[in-house]
Amino acid sequence: MLRIREILAASALVACADVNSVVGGACAKGYVEQGNTCVPATNVGEDGGGIVTNEDGGGNTTPELDGGTPGERNDASTSTTNPSSTVGPGFFCVAPEIQCGNDCIDPTSDPMNCGACGHVCPSNSCVASKCVGSAPGHVVMIGHDYATAPTSFSSQARVLSNATLLPASNPLRVMSYEEYADGSSVKNAESVVNAEAKQLGRSINFVPITSAQAVSSTIDVNAFDVLIVHDQKNAPQSTLATIGTSWQSDGKIATFLHAGGVVIVLSGGTGTAEMPDLATNAQLLSVSTQTSITGSLSVLAPADAIGSGVVSPYVPKPSTVTFDAEANGGNVVWVVAQNGAPVVVHKIMP
């Protein structure tokens, strides 16, 4: 605790420099710093250790650090997982605890702050700063490529925002696969999601990945919450099918989903239009074909997490497609459709 005494002595040097109780630039024994001055202390032990409280003239006491027992928190009544616990003036978090907002939490075991502030474990289990166990994952396939920017908070924007913001982590960590994607489409998609997140008081860290192999080597629920696979419209013919096969073979994305991760696949009606091949070969969602459409879309599942708040019907931007996909029912939900063909599909992965 010697280091703590040194720090407090240094902070008191400025606060108490012109007070008669100063000895050597710090508050004398029997005095503590309070409100930028040195005032008489109460409950001070002979060795100056323990918690010192000072009467502030209003009958209240203010905790002050003055030594203490190593390994103990000064506000001993505060729980490491109690969201109402606060870290006030003069308090500190004892390792392995860290300060998240006004709380002292243990990132080695807290499933709401596992390994870092705001990292929520989908399984609600955190061991040695890592999320462990299994939880249902989510695959969302959206027949919009966002090449034409939708209005923020519009229905087309909201389906993507709802999907991206499914995990509770804040900040949210999103891997963005962009190897053959159109840069403006990526920017448009991120813009609408950021706008929604801001309204909810959340922030998002988008991490661009430009190699399919890098997706496999780095995707992990302890590093990312969401994988967005943008429409790879500029991919050479048959490349996306090969990428999907490689992702299925190494099993990394399957592991990510099994741990509660979210994978979003975007597809439009321009370019190679082979995103169904990628989704099918990666065993994310079986999609045989896609068809470019115009006209309004209907929300079939407004109670689904992806359909929440999405106005029906809505008119999408150009290059929207429908899918010939897995049947509606069970763990597969057709969220948005046109004439019985899905445009937005939400699949829960056990």
Q: Looking at the predicted structure, is the pLDDT value of residue 79 above 90?
A: no
Where in the chain is CATH 3.40.50? 137-349
Cβ atoms 262, 251 nearer than 8 A: no
Residue-wise pLDDT tens digits, 5-50: 444 444 444 344 444 444 455 666 556 666 566 656 544 444 444 3
- Is pLDDT of 350 > 90? no
Banded model confidence at residue 92, pLDDT cuts 50, 70, 90: confident
DSSP E strands in the chain: the ranges are: 22-23, 26-27, 31-33, 38-40, 51-55, 61-65, 98-100, 103-105, 126-127, 130-131, 137-142, 172-177, 204-209, 226-229, 262-266, 287-292, 298-299, 321-325, 332-338, 341-349
Model pLDDT, residue 80: 38
What's the pLDDT score for residue 27?
63
Q: What is the pLDDT of residues 128-183, one digit of tens each?
A: 999 999 999 999 999 999 999 999 999 999 999 999 999 999 999 999 999 999 99
The model's pLDDT over 279-300, given as tens digits with 9 standing for 90+, comes to: 999 999 999 999 999 999 999 9
Assigned fold of 137-349: Rossmann fold (3.40.50)
Q: List pLDDT tens digits, range 324-349.
A: 999 999 999 999 999 999 999 999 99
Q: Report pLDDT for 232.
A: 98
Q: The pTM is what?
A: 0.75
